[in-house]
Amino acid sequence: MSPQPRKSLIAHIFAKVQFYGVVFVLIPFIFVFQITIVYPELVRKLKVSLVEQIVHICLISFCFINVIGNLIYSIMMDSSLKRPVFGEGTYCEECRMVRPVRSWHCMQCNVCIVKRDHHCSFLSRCVGLYNQRYFVLFLGHVMLSMTYATYYNYYFVTMKFKGDGWALSAFRIFNPLLRFIIPEPMGYKDVYLFFLIMNVALIVWSGTLFYWHFKNVLMGVTSYEARFPELKDASRWKQNLRNVFGTKWYLAIICPMCESPLPEEAKYV
């Protein structure tokens, strides 16, 4: 057999940089920015009471732990097939073993994935039986966190612009050529406005993906199976929810560290 070039090397490096950049730079940066710049000024200008401050700090910490925790667990939990199954299944020519029903071979990961949902290029791995919970909840918590961040960043940006000129600034962010028309140099308030726009963009991105994946979870189908309406079963939504989020699903949705074992049924249906 002739040597094969590593076709996915650049994609592999890009995915790694993307992942470590998001986990160790982007998410902590957003958290530190909100807690050290936006939050203290809002507290001072809006005269927020001590009780409200404690509630906000708890909410910000809750968002941070759930976003970063679910992201890290999505990577750490491995859904690849380690050994052949005995009983009902199909034979994989690539792995040369019998895999359970609903398991598929991933060409990028080069392994069979148990209850394969899809290959996520952002995580650089497949989403399957053991990491789907964390993947879906990561999207849900990004959506909630960005909605919350948009709420108070809106007040922050409004204060900076004093209610005037923000629309023109937004145009200039996306079209730097406007600086020839607007002589005033860009400043901090333009950067704050850019963060607010990013907040809204992330709500749209995570909200759309969360809607799609959570709907599939409730219907009991994977992303591939969602093409076939006859496989969807909304009447079993409670059991479908447990099959992805585990028996303690109510704890799983508020804390990624909480154990929520999958029911035995989840591995075969």
Instruction: Indicate whether 114 belongs to the interface with Zn ion (CB under 5 A).
Output: no
Which positions ≥6 away from 34 have C-beta within 8 Å? Answer: 60, 149, 153
Q: Interacting stretch for Zn ion, rule CB under 5 A, among 98-106, 136-144, 211-219, 249-257?
A: 98-106
By CB under 5 A, how many residues form the interface with Zn ion?
A: 10
**DSSP characters over 249-269:** HHHHTT-TTS--PPPGGGGT-
Encode 25-94 in three state secondary structure: HHHHHHHHHHHHHHHHHHHHHHCCCHHHHHHHHHHHHHHHHHHHHHHHHHHHCCCECCCCCCCCCEEECC
To the nearest whole angstrom, how small is the minimum distance from the Cβ of residue 261 to Zn ion?
Answer: 24
Q: Which window, 2-10, 104-112, 191-199, 257-265, contacts Zn ion (CB under 5 A)?
A: 104-112
Q: Which is nearer to Zn ion, 92 or 258 (CB)?
A: 92
**Choice from 109, 251, 255, 258 touching Zn ion (CB under 5 A):** 109
- Residue 75 or 95 with smaller CB distance to Zn ion: 95
Take residue 189 and report the two structure tokens written for it. 């308030």
Q: Closer to Zn ion at the Cβ: 62 or 122?
A: 122
Bridge partners (DSSP) listed for residue 111: 106
**Which is closer to Zn ion, CB of 89 or CB of 220?**
89
- To the nearest whole angstrom, how small is the minimum distance from the Cβ of residue 109 to Zn ion? 3
Dihedral of CA 26/28/31/32: which sign? negative
Measured from the CB atom, is 119 or 141 closer to Zn ion?
Answer: 119
**What string marks each residue from 137 to 166 as x (binds Zn ion by CB under 5 A) or -?**
------------------------------
Kindly state whether residue 112 participates in binding Zn ion, applying the rule CB under 5 A: yes
Interaction pattern, residues 57-96, with Zn ion; x per rule: CB under 5 A: -----------------------------------x-xx-
Q: Which stretch binds Zn ion (CB under 5 A): 19-27, 44-52, 114-122, 244-252?
A: 114-122
- Residue identified by tokens 């790694």 is 16
Type and span of the H or E element at 196: helix 188-219
Binding mask 30-49 for Zn ion (x = CB under 5 A): --------------------
Is 50 buried (19+), middle (13-18) or exposed (0-12) by CB count in 10 A? Answer: exposed
- Selected from 77, 90, 105, 239, the binder of Zn ion by CB under 5 A is 105
Nearer to Zn ion, 38 or 106 (CB): 106
State whether the Cα torsion 231-233-234-240 is positive or negative.
negative
Looking only at residues 117 through 136 of this chain, which bind Zn ion when binding is defined by CB under 5 A? 119, 126
Output the six-digit token pair for 183.
Answer: 């002589």
Q: Cα separation of 8 and 11, whole Å?
A: 5
Contacting positions for Zn ion (CB under 5 A): 92, 94-95, 105-106, 108-109, 112, 119, 126
